[in-house]
Amino acid sequence: MRERTVLSLLPVLAVAGLACGSATTTSGDDGGTGDASPADVPGEADTPAEADIQPPDSPTETIEDAGGDEPDAAPGRAVGAPCNHAEQCADGPVPGECLTMVWAIEAPNGYCTAIGCHDDADCPGGAAAAACAELYGGVRACFRRCEVEIDCRNSEGYRCIDPDGDDPAPSVCLPFCRGNEDCTGTNVACDMGGHPPLCHDEAGHRNGEPCVHHADCAAGSYCLAERALFGGWPRGYCTQDCLSEEDCGNGGTCVISCVDDDDRTVTDPCDDDTRPGEPDPNNRGICMENCTLPGDSCTRPGYRCKVLGPTTATSHSVCAPDCGDSGGGCGETGWTCDPYAGVFLGGATFGFGRCQPPLDTAALGGSCRITSGCRGGFCLAESLTGYPRGLCAEECGFLDPCPADFECTGGGLFAGFCFRPCSLSADDCRAGTRCNEIGGMSACVPNCTTNDDCLNGCCHQDGTGFCDPQRARCMM
């Protein structure tokens, strides 16, 4: 069967090789990058090999919607319906999520989906209602099927689009444009050559300038929004995907998250070269504003001039996120700067320091979904990692300690997760997990024993305690 990608229209920003076991979440919006290696997660070493779906190449601190009301309707909204929170959306074999903004997709008024599907039957409502297609970085999601324009939420900017022309992928409802008539506002036009095609202000901002919506950026660019999932960039940052300087048509320089290195296959972070001399297919980069050192020529609060890049030969002086040292710069009401955030946002390549909502410490250790249940934290979602019903965690390290009553495990300088210690004698962990000693501390680790312990109804039969995201080997 041909691999379906909604998003032949949407190039993968997947700026890294990160993430098995670190899909981020929160109730709210989405977008962002990442390239650091994942930290050790208690119990994660035994993740079943069959559960090999890769989460976004850029997991990150959970960014939650700063506004909006609590869920105001009973759960059960169909794929493609508007939403504020994941709990409003129907579940299928893969749990429902509320998509609002991630990379170049911006879903007005929210879009019910399910992230981590393998085929159409995994979607809430089944294959008749939705299609499973690639969202980004190899991660697939459910999109509402359509036959005619009125099947979609036209007044909100959704169109019935066939993503692959004459190929077999069905038409689905997407928030993309097909011509200037699909765009509203003064001096706004459809970038027909874009991937995906989006509406842009004709006087849009160049790479490195602030943004809230993709339309704020010049044609060809999109917005790494502060409030987006996998975001946190202070007041947003216009950028383009790139592999070379020529790709940065709206200014800046290309910062690559990994490099082609045929002679060092063990340490090459990409290690997928097709043959010597050819670019590694896993190389990914974004365009960042140039600056000069010494001194700091970056004028935006929340950014500093830094030399970034995976190697000396591929490094550049660019304006990078650093809200801690540069005085904040966060724009969302109530949000603050975490100066050490970014390990799971591509901090090693793109700079540390992200804006985020206040951490909900009451949620740490609890269940979560990719877009809900872990405000200001980091969700190890079941649909991507196999952790039963997901685990809300917070990144930590020597310079970034955990909140009171939590301990940091799996980290070095700053690359671990905060967990609440549990009692080995009382085993006070929630259903689907158990208390075990990990790295000198006790923490709740995966321990599903029945299919009912998993949101997707599939506890892996190998006895590791993980759910099987692919539902290929469920307990009998």
Judging by DSSP bridges, how do beta strands 395-396 and 253-256 pair with one another? unpaired
User: pLDDT tens digits for 179-190?
Assistant: 999 988 788 999
Using alpha carbons only, how large is the chain's radius of gyration in Å?
Answer: 21
Cα separation, 42 vs 52, whole angstroms: 18
Identify the weakest region by mean pLDDT among 217-226, 349-358, 370-379: 349-358
The pLDDT value given to residue 277: 60
For residue 397, the 8-state DSSP code is B
Q: Residue 471: which pLDDT band, with cuts at 50, 70 and 90?
A: confident
Question: Which is more confident, 73 or 39?
Answer: 73
| SS3 call for 149 | helix
Cα separation, 301 vs 296, whole angstroms: 12
The pLDDT value given to residue 29: 38
Give percent of the chain with pLDDT exceeding 70: 74
Contact 238, 211 (CB under 8 A): yes
Q: Exposed, middle or buried, 392 (CB in 10 Å: 0-12/13-18/19+)?
A: buried
Mean pLDDT in residue range 358-366? 89
Cα separation, 418 vs 406, whole angstroms: 6
Identify the weakest region by mean pLDDT among 51-60, 78-87, 452-461: 51-60
DSSP codes, 344-369: GGTHHHH-S-EEEPPP-GGGTTS--B
| Residue 39, pLDDT above cutoff 70 | no
| Residue 70, pLDDT above cutoff 60 | no
Q: Three-class SS string for 174-241? A: ECCCCCHHHCCCCCEEECCCCCCCCEEECCCECCCCCCCCHHHECCCCEEECCCCCCCCCCCCEEECE
Q: Residue 237: which pLDDT band, with cuts at 50, 70 and 90?
A: very high
User: pLDDT tens digits for 88-137?
Assistant: 999 988 889 999 998 778 999 999 999 988 889 999 999 999 999 888 76
**Smallest Cα–Cα separation from 71: which of 86, 90, 81, 58?**
86
User: pLDDT tens digits for 239-296?
Assistant: 998 888 999 999 999 998 766 555 555 555 555 555 666 666 667 789 999 999 877 7
**Bridge partners, residue 407, by sequence:** 419
Question: Mean pLDDT over all residues of the chain?
Answer: 77
